[in-house]
Amino acid sequence: MKLSIIRSACGSLRIHQARPGCRVSGLSRRCPPVSAASGRLIVRAASATTSSGTSPKLAVNFGKQSQKEDGLECDSSLREVVQSTKEALVALQRKNPTIQPVLAIIQAGEDDSLLETNKKIAEKIGLNVTQICLAKHCSEDEIVEEVLKLNEDPRVHGVYLHLPPTSLTHRVLNTLKPEKDVDGISYSNMGHLVQGDPNKGLVPPIASAVMDLLEKHDAPLEGRTVLMIGAEGPLGVAMQFQIERRGMVALKSHWSFNNLQRQVMQADAVVLLGAENIDIPPTWVKPGAAVIRCEPTLETDEHATEMSSKSGLGYLTAAYRIQNVVRSSSRWLQEQQYRQWWLRSLKLQPLTPVPSDIEISRAQTPKPVDQLAKEIGLLPEELEAYGRSKAKVRLSLLDRLHTQPDGNYILVAGITPTPLGEGKSTVTIGLVQALSAHLKLNSFACLRQPSQGPTFGVKGGAAGGGYAQVIPMEEFNLHLTGDIHAITAANNLVAAAIDARMLHEATQSDKALFNRLVPSVNGVRRFSPIQMARLRRLGINKTDPASLTPQEVTTFVRLDLDPSKITWQRVVDTNDRFLRKITVGQANTEKGQIRETGFDIAVASEIMAILALADSLEDMKNRLARMVVGTSRCGQPVTAEDLGVSGALAVLMKDAIKPTLMQTLEGTPVFVHAGPFANIAHGNSSVLADKLALKLVGRDGFVVTEAGFGADIGMEKFFNIKCRASGLRPNVVVLVATVRALKMHGGGPNVSAGAPLPREYIDENLTLVAGGCHSNLRKQIQITHLFGVPVVVALNVFKTDTQAEIDLVCQIAKECGASDAVPCHHWAQGGRGSLELAQAVNDAASRPSNFQFLYDLEMPIVEKIRTIAQKVYGADDIELSPEAKTKIDYYNQQGFSSLPICMAKTHLSLSHMPEKKGAPTGFILPIRDVRASIGSGFIYPLVGTMSTMPGLPTRPCFYDIDLDPVTEEITGLF
């Protein structure tokens, strides 16, 4: 009862708030007597849209009713409808105490007669009525504009168009959402009524009121004849089908019909629906018949107003309208609940030999993204389409389904890969295709967005491969919805803010800085909210800029960044090795502010890691504010919030925080979101994508998410960093292995990207396979067991693998502790080729999981690093460089010691030495430096030399990427 809506095309709006429990007074007129001799029920009705769409005025005389009561209390039908509607509203609010249904009346002119009728009924039931008055001769555009606003207002559950019939155009009726059309005049509601299914639509209130009176008449309804005179338009149709559904015979006529008197004399009831103000002579009506008149009017003459104030049927019609509002509210609330999936799979027809990835992608027509969204239970308002095949999903979904149990949470990791990659993304996609399209279990894949650096550099497309892909693969690999570009813009805004602040501090006095940072606007000087936050952090509890002391002014305006200790770099989403180290500030305008800095690739930005770990927009904003960009000369960390830029960063990232919905080749849903590096960051897709997907799949569904690189890197960080941030716990780990990688770990020759594979990897070699299984595969299974999660080994089968090699891998994997090990043929067969894996994962998920973290956050930083090095990598111990020790002492002093650890090391070996394959032992892990991503929420030690800016090879992938200018088809993306 607190809703107020203030908007109108003509600027005239009445807002009325009903108060539940209020006593309605001022209606003491007695009902006029009815002749008992005739036994007729005579009703003059006005309160709903008539056959022509006009609002009727109300005048009622009741026969066979108590004449001791008056006003609202004189009609038992009214009391019954009001009471039942009130009970329905109470039950609805018991389920959801926050819901408060509202009826909005859009009308032409400022007549309040109809409003008062609806308001009095609303008061008795306990909801609000809002009136929007347009100009008397308002245009179609003005009406549509108001309707659109009310359509999108979640607080409004019913809209009544109290407009002239000429204003109820096809466009207006099509614009009004059927679920809010409480007068039942939209085409959709009429369609439900005609099809004999009024429970799916809303019945016109005047039709319900008239039927109510007919049912209370003395004679039984079945077989009776009801004559409707002037029954044109939606109300006539509604009335006809309501009458026929009650077993009566409905006849239609017009005032000009020659045999009208004969038809009236034969009818058991007469309903006057036309616009003509003509009465039926009493001598025409046979004894015991009922005559009901609906007199259309929009005029505001005194007679019409007076008649309305006497109307019992007018209030009954209003009561049915309010009942429709409550029904609409109930249906809306039902729509907010979890929806069962009705997923339509796309058929695959795998070819042999398998075509290129892009040819396979183009051969499949993806479902429109809005159709996919509907199939998996998303509401239209939760979707922001980016073209036909992809869309952002709003985070409001989490609020809507907050009580919905999560599904099963599956992590896909891998053994230590070759430089060619072992197909974790492909396995992830093949698994969800098998689960959803073939086993009919709800499943969602959650993948990282590929960087354009590798796409045009050494890797090419990253949408999966073969018949296990995300489609359209061109859109997946190129730009997508612009998240990486948003990160680039935000990251570089911080970099620009750093250098600009250093320049201004170096060239201005404290007073000049203060005057420019806190300018006087119209003679008033105020701190901005972000400046107030900085003052509080500095311990200055003042709000008036004029009250600061000179020392406080100095402390406030000077960040005093040490140029040699700035940790923030610029980013670009291109492999450009010549930007690894650059010099900035060389122009004369920079006044000698020259310093060395560099570029990272965009996905290495801390903002990317924040995007992946944030669990809400507010959390992301707070993390952005906490980002440390450097250190002051007195040794204090300087944050993005100190720079005053964190609010702007949130603005740049407000759309990027929403996951992108796409689909696989078999039409199963995929969330693509975030893409942090797996060596310097945690290398996992976003927490938010996983959380949204876990709600959508339902209790028995599956969310399959992927960790970067081997289990020693991506999986360890998934558990110790991502699971701490999300609060989620996985049920199963799928460990991806290939015969090729196992042969390498078993002693095979080096594998290099772009070079032909040595014969050992093409010919059968069981000795090399067994060596890799007993070393690297065994170790990665052991790492998984450290966290108490069951593991299923998925052998990604290549065409060069022999059956003996496949059988040997599966046998040894089970001996090493895997709950199951199965071959996967998704690349050549799609989901059907991963059915065995899907069944193994389903079985493993039904077993209990005893998840545990590897270390306690309160352990010292050094001990957390040592725990990872010894238990995960197999090192004997760690060795800290002097610089690393100094950094750890600094982080302890600043209160960062309780953050988790994100090790930055090579992905090509369990150790820090890329050439050491298998499961190296007996080594000391060197920690050359330790850095902090405070916004992301982790400490990352550097093991060896880690590059955050890849370079292009001699022959990059872009040599093969091209565009046909006629067809606009892309070639070369695999």
CA distances from 239 to 203, 273, 551 (A): 9, 10, 82
Q: Is 743 a catalytic residue?
A: no
pLDDT given at position 312: 60
pLDDT band at 957 (very low <50, low <70, confident <90, very high): confident
Query: How many Cβ atoms from other residues are within 10 Å of residue 45's Cβ?
Result: 28
| Structure tokens given for 617 | 């927009």
Q: What is the mean pLDDT of the chain?
A: 86
Span 689-706, average pLDDT: 97
Whether the CB-CB separation of 584 and 660 falls below 8 Å is answered with no
Identified catalytic residue from 459, 501, 534, 866: 459
| Residue written as token pair 């036909």 | 388
User: For residues 304 and 113, what is the distance between their CA atoms, to the nearest angstrom?
Assistant: 9
pLDDT band at 14 (very low <50, low <70, confident <90, very high): very low
Q: Is 556 a catalytic residue?
A: no
State pLDDT tens for residues 744-793: 999 999 988 778 899 999 999 999 999 999 999 999 999 999 999 999 99
Crossing angle of helices 510-517 and 483-507, rounded to 10°: 140
Identified catalytic residue from 678, 821, 884, 919: 678
Query: How many Cβ atoms from other residues are within 10 Å of residue 814's Cβ?
Result: 14
Span 267-277, average pLDDT: 78
Whether the CB-CB separation of 763 and 401 falls below 8 Å is answered with no
Q: Is 827 a catalytic residue?
A: yes
The DSSP code sequence of 738-789 is -HHHHHHHTTPPP--TTSPPPGGGTS--HHHHHHHIIIIIHHHHHHHHHTT-
State pLDDT tens for residues 603-629: 999 999 999 999 999 999 999 999 999
The helix/strand/coil state of 27 is: coil
Q: Is 477 exposed, middle or buried (0-12, 13-18, 19+ CB in 10 A)?
A: buried
User: For residues 480 and 487, what is the distance between their CA atoms, to the nearest angstrom?
Assistant: 13
Query: How many Cβ atoms from other residues are within 10 Å of residue 557's Cβ?
Result: 23
Whether the CB-CB separation of 366 and 663 falls below 8 Å is answered with yes
| Structure tokens given for 402 | 């907050």
The helix/strand/coil state of 77 is: helix
pLDDT given at position 24: 26
Whether the CB-CB separation of 272 and 226 falls below 8 Å is answered with no
Phi, psi angle pair for 666, to nearest 5°: -100, 15
The DSSP code sequence of 591-638 is TT--EEE-EEEGGGSHHHHHHHH-SSHHHHHHHHHH-EEEEETTS-EE
Q: Out of 448-457, 701-710, 770-779, 930-939, which region has the weakest mean confidence (pLDDT)?
A: 448-457
pLDDT given at position 954: 74
Q: Which amino acid is it at 84?
A: S
Q: Is 284 a catalytic residue?
A: no
State pLDDT tens for residues 24-54: 222 222 222 222 222 333 333 333 333 333 3
| Residue written as token pair 């001996």 | 815
DSSP 234: H
Q: Which residue has the higher pLDDT, 666 or 192?
A: 666
Maximum CA extent, the chain: 113
Q: Which amino acid is it at 149?
A: K
pLDDT band at 461 (very low <50, low <70, confident <90, very high): low
Q: Is 678 a catalytic residue?
A: yes
Span 926-949, average pLDDT: 90
State pLDDT tens for residues 49-95: 333 333 333 333 333 333 333 333 336 888 899 999 999 999 999 98
pLDDT given at position 557: 96
pLDDT over 70 at 795, yes or no = yes
**Among candidate residues 202, 324, 273, the one with its CA nearest the CA of residue 46:** 273
Identified catalytic residue from 390, 392, 448, 695: 448
Identified catalytic residue from 456, 827, 938, 974: 827
Identified catalytic residue from 284, 798, 853, 923: 798
Q: Is 426 a catalytic residue?
A: yes
Predicted TM-score of the model (pTM)? 0.84
Identified catalytic residue from 40, 124, 424, 722: 424
Identified catalytic residue from 62, 568, 677, 709: 709
Span 511-537, average pLDDT: 94
Query: Which residues pair with residue 332 across a beta bridge?
Result: none
Beta strands 820-824 and 791-796 are parallel
